[in-house]
Amino acid sequence: MDALDASVPTISPGRPFRASVTTFRALMGSGFRRYATYRQATVAGTFTNIVFGFLRCYVLLAVAAGTVGATAGGYDARQLATFVWVGQGLLNVVGLWGWVDLSERIRTGDIVADLVRPVSPVIAYLAADLGRGGHALLTRVGPPVLVGALFFPLATPSRWLTAPLFAVSVLLAVVGSFGCRYLVNATAYWLGDARGPLVFWTLGSGVLAGLYFPLRLLPDWLAVTLWVATPLPGLLQTPLDVLVERDPPALQVGLVALQAVWAVIMLALAGWVQRRAERRLVVQGG
Amino acid sequence: MIEMRDLSKTFTVRVKAGRLRREKRTIAAVDGVSLSIGRGEMVGYIGPNGAGKSTTLKMLTGVLTPTSGEVSVCGLRPVPQRTALALRIGVVFGQRSQLWWDLPLRDSFRLLRAVYRVPAAEHEARLRRCCELLDLDGFLDIPVRQLSLGQRMRGELTAALLHGPEVLFLDEPTIGLDVVSKQAVRSFLGELGRTGDVTLVLTTHDLADIERLCHRLVVIDHGRVVHDGTIEQLHARYGSRRRLVADLDSPLPPGFVLPGATMTGTEADGHRVTFTLESITAGAAVAALVTAAQVRDLSVVEPDIEDVVARLYTDGRSAEGRSAEG
């Protein structure tokens, strides 16, 4: 066993930042590959997104058609259709629902394996989640947008700023959504099982992130309160508003900045909760 | 390499104490354990279910915060310096997996190289060596979820060693494995222990693991260390003796006494006798026996560690019963 010596080497001695980037990238790759394994699930999920896309699109277009000037919440028909079809794809990129990895590992006690690694669980799960988001971006956005474009007229961005701002906004939405999901899952540290909070999250996030209907349909005071006081509009509504150019450029930049603030807050909160949880941790199951 | 002084961990549980009332009860999972383990030692850490073995291991790896006492591993304090410690220790939890469930074993190893920041050449060398000793080549490209328990455990061991840890903690690494897989795991660990580079702490219920691998045995019960020493010392302490079993053509003459031994059994109308050897060697006992009767067959039975440990656990439980009654 001469090769199994007891030294502690590093990939880039003296370059900790570079080594951290390598580790983060590898973990991102693992998230990507993990989801790439389940091709049939990807196809089934995409099909479901398309079916619900039709439902949502017809309802919102009907709402718009019944208004003066055929606009609803400040969106015209093209913007609404784009909002729905891109939203159906983005839903998976953001990963609003279905992420129970952390709570399951806490419930079964497998979390112990994460805690004996030299990487913080928040960072490790964030990297893997960005990989998951990358996989969803490549596989889950195209089909609903394509189907939407075949059946409805969609809006195309007219400002140069829109594309880079949308890219940044999507990235921040994934990070913000990860922070929220991590916190919901982490309740399992205290409750033993996060199923209750997860049901609450599924119901709440769908409404308050702008999935079921654009939040601009709500009274202004409520929409503004949601934007400022919660991270939820930043998870879906903001990137979609940026893409359909719902607001002037300055306001859009402001909304993305707000999204960034919330993403940072949620990540910091996730890190704090994780540290608190570790102090009172009881590993379940011996 | 590992130091524990008065290490304790208590858990608070709520138990039903009436229709609506619940009562808080404090349970001491580990109760004042003091141990010192040197570099390259192979220590078996055993005890009945709920004795506090896994809890100790989790405190040593920085996963659980001790309620009181001091602990240091590789000169580091496990909880506050968990990340630094993780680079220097390897951990296998027999009932948990540190591999990525959906990815092939090879990908899990590649990821661990990135997580532990191991240079490619060293990673390759260690992986090659593990593949050789644990025969991994046949299933390196199969997703972990499709591996058999034995294959997964061999993968887990490799995963714990790829970064060249100084201390290896193994929590029931042979649990649920078939005979062949157990054998593979044991011979691998034996090989690892022979180099003296890695300190090994092994918890198990399978005492054959301990007999084959560990010179030092620590027995814990109800959170306290009840034995710390070699297996031989355990036998000596609990009066385990070798036994001489003889098949005879005719029974021994009435009143036959074997000095330094006690007859502890007769079977088949006296045609099979068992002597427990106390202060006589097996050779002298055989010599005395053949002068007294025609011996057809003889065997010397070594003391069984399982019996000793079972007695140790039972003694612990009766002591607990007595103290509860008192």
| Contacts of residue B75, Cβ cutoff 8 Å, sequence gap at least 6 | none
Domain contains B51: yes
Q: Kindly determine whether residue B88 and residue A8, on different chains, have CB atoms separated by under 8 Å.
A: yes
Q: Are B73 and B4 in contact (CB under 8 A)?
A: no
Q: What is the DSSP string of chain A?
A: -TTS------SSTT-HHHHHHHHHHHHHHHHHHHHHT-HHHHHHHHHHHHHHHHHHHHHHHHHHHTSGGG-BTTB-HHHHHHHHHHHHHHHHHHT-S---HHHHHHHHSTHHHHHTSSS-HHHHHHHHHHHHHHHHHHHTSHHHHHHHHHHS------STTHHHHHHHHHHHHHHHHHHHHHHHHHTHHHHS--HHHHHHHHHHHHHHTTSSS-GGGS-HHHHHHHHHH-SGGGGTHHHHHHHTT-S-HHHHHHHHHHHHHHHHHHHHHHHHHHHHHHHT---TT-
Q: How far is the alpha carbon of A19 from chain B, nearest alpha carbon, in Å?
A: 7
Higher-pLDDT residue of B248 and B178 is B248
pLDDT, one tens digit per residue, over B221-230 is 888 888 888 8
Cβ contacts (< 8 Å) between B161 and chain A: which residues? 4
Q: B236 in helix, strand or coil?
A: helix
Within 8 A of B89 by CB-CB distance, chain A residues are 116
Rounded mean pLDDT of chain B? 85
Same domain, B59 and B196: yes
Shortest Cα distance, chain A CAs vs residue B129, angstroms:
7
Residue B186 has pLDDT above 90, yes or no: no
Nearest residue of B to residue A22, measured between CA atoms: B114
Question: Is A283 in contact with B64 (Cβ distance < 8 A)?
Answer: yes
Residue at B108 is within a domain: yes
Measured N-to-C along each axis, helices B120-134 and B179-195 cross at an angle, to the nearest 10 degrees, of 130
Residues across chain B: 326
DSSP 8-state class, residue B214: -
Shortest alpha-carbon distance between residue A214 and chain B (Å): 36
Asked if the Cβ–Cβ distance from A113 to B93 is below 8 Å, we say yes
Cα separation of A33 and B115, whole Å? 16
Query: Of B187, B209, B236, which marks where a domain is finished?
Result: B236
| Residue A85: both structure tokens together | 């079809």
Alpha-carbon distances, residue A163 vs A77, A166, A167, B266 (angstroms): 21, 5, 6, 92
Chain B residues inside the 8 Å CB shell of A118:
83-84, 86-87, 115-116
Please answer whether residues B61 and B81 qualify as being in contact, where contact means their C-beta atoms are separated by less than 8 angstroms.
no
The answer for B 38-67 residues in CB contact with A (under 8 A) is 49-50, 54, 58, 61-65
CA torsion angle B46 B48 B50 B52 (round to 10): -20
Question: Phi and psi at residue B225, in whole multiples of 5°?
Answer: -75, 120
Across the range B283-289, mean pLDDT stands at: 88
Q: Check whether residue B211 and residue B256 sit in a common domain.
A: no
Least confident of B185-189, B299-303, B314-318: B314-318
Whether residue B315 is contained in a domain is answered as no
CB contact under 8 A, B115 and A23: yes
Contact between residue B35 and residue B93 where contact means Cβ atoms under 8 Å apart: no
Quick one: pLDDT band at residue B51, thresholds 50, 70, 90? Answer: confident
Closest residue in A to B61 (Cα–Cα):
A116
Residue ranges, chain A, pLDDT below 50: 1-11
Is residue B111 in a domain? yes
Q: Touching check for B103 and chain A: CB below 8 Å?
A: yes
Domain range for B256 is 241-301
pLDDT number for residue B2: 92
Find, among B158, B205, B211, B150, the residue nearest to B182 by Cα. Answer: B150
Contact B118 A22 (CB under 8 A): no
Selection from A92, A55, A74 nearest residue A244 by Cα: A74
The pLDDT of residue B324 is above 70:
no
Return the structure tokens found at A215. 């939040």
Same domain, B152 and B279: no
Percentage of chain B exceeding pLDDT 70: 96
Query: For A92-140, what is each residue's pLDDT tens digit?
Result: 999 998 899 999 999 988 898 999 999 999 999 999 999 999 999 999 9
pLDDT of residue B258: 85
Q: List B44's β-bridge partners, or say none.
A: B202, B217
Q: Is B168 on the interface with A (CB under 8 A)?
A: no
Q: Does B175 touch chain A (CB under 8 A)?
A: no
Report how many domains make up chain B: 2
What one-letter code names the amino acid at A7? S
Tell me the C-alpha to C-alpha distance, in Å, between residue B187 and each of A67, B96, B200, B214: 78, 22, 14, 12
* Pair B263, B176 in one domain: no
Residue B4, helix vs strand vs coil: strand
B86, A117: Cβ pair inside 8 Å?
A: yes
Position B155 in a domain: yes
User: How does pLDDT run across B195-209, given as a tens digit for each residue?
Assistant: 878 899 988 887 777
Helices B105-116 and B149-161, axial angle in degrees (round to 10): 20
CATH number where B225 lies: 3.40.50.300
Q: Which of A59, A58, A52, A61 is nearest to A87 (CA)?
A: A52
Q: Do the Cβ atoms of B192 and A6 come within 8 Å?
A: no
Do B205 and B245 have their domain in common?
A: no
A282/B111 Cβ within 8 A:
no
Q: Domain check: are B271 and B245 in the same one?
A: yes
* Cβ contacts of A74 within 8 Å, gap of 6 or more: A216, A246
pLDDT beyond 60 at B320 = no
Kindly list the residues from chain B whose CB atom is less than 8 angstroms away from the CB atom of residue A109: 95-96
Is B103 close to A34, i.e. CB distance below 8 A? yes
Chain A contact set for B133 (CB, 8 A): 1
Res. B61 pLDDT band, cuts 50 70 90: very high
Whether residues B119 and A25 touch (CB distance < 8 A) is answered with no
What tokens does B239 get?
A: 């009066």
Mean pLDDT of all residues in B47-57? 85
Amino acid at A216: R
**Chain B residues within an 8 Å CB radius of A31:** none
Question: What is the DSSP track for A132-167?
Answer: HHHHHHHHTSHHHHHHHHHHS------STTHHHHHH
Instruction: Tell me: pLDDT of B263 over 50.
Output: yes
Confidence (pLDDT) at B91: 93
CA distance B252 to chain A (A): 53
* Residue B197 forms contact with A (CB below 8 Å): yes
B170 and B265 share one domain: no
Which chain A positions have a beta carbon within 8 Å of B143's beta carbon? 37
Residue B191 shares a structural domain with residue B95: yes
Q: Are residues B262 and B126 in the same domain?
A: no
**Contact criterion met (CB < 8 Å) for B114 and A26:** yes
- Rounded distance, CA B236 to CA B224, Å? 21
Residue B78 pLDDT > 80, yes or no? yes
Span B118-137, pLDDT tens digits:
989 999 988 998 888 888 88
CB distance A283–B87 less than 8 Å? Answer: no
Residues B147 and B259 in one domain: no
Whether residue B110 and residue A26 make contact (CB cut-off 8 A), yes or no, is yes
DSSP state of B145: G
Residue B251 tokens read as 């029974």
Note the pLDDT of residue B227: 84
Residue B94 lies in a domain: yes
Do B124 and B263 fall into the same domain?
Answer: no
Give dist(CA B212, CA B193) in Å, integer: 11
Across the interface, of A10, A25, A30, the residue whose CB is closest to B100 is A30
Contacts of B286 (CB under 8 A, 6+ apart): B244, B295, B298
How far away is chain A from the Cα of B79, in angstroms, using its nearest Cα? 9
Residues B177 and B267 placed together within one structural domain of the fold: no
Q: Is residue B309 part of a domain?
A: no
Please calculate the CA angle B144-B145-B151 and round it to the nearest 5 degrees.
Answer: 55
All residues of chain B having their beta carbon less than 8 Å from the beta carbon of residue A23 are 114-115, 117
How many inter-chain contacts (A to B, CB under 8 Å) are there? 132
Residues of chain A neighbouring B92 (CB-CB closer than 8 A): none
Q: Which residues of A touch B119 (CB under 8 A)?
A: 9-11
What CATH number corresponds to the domain at position B264? 3.30.70
* pLDDT over 80 (residue B219): yes
B129 to A19: CB separation less than 8 angstroms, yes or no? no
Which pLDDT score, from 0 to 100, does residue A7 have? 44
Q: Which residues are within 8 A (CB) of A229 and not within 5 positions of it... i.e. 6 or more apart? A: none
Coil, strand or helix at B280: coil
CB nearest B96 (choices: A12, A19, A113)? A113
Chain B residues with CB inside 8 Å of A19's CB?
117
With an 8 Å Cβ cutoff, is B319 touching chain A? Answer: no
Name chain B contacts of A190, Cβ cutoff 8 Å.
Answer: none
Q: Alpha-carbon Rg of chain B, whole angstroms?
A: 24
In-domain check, residue B164: yes
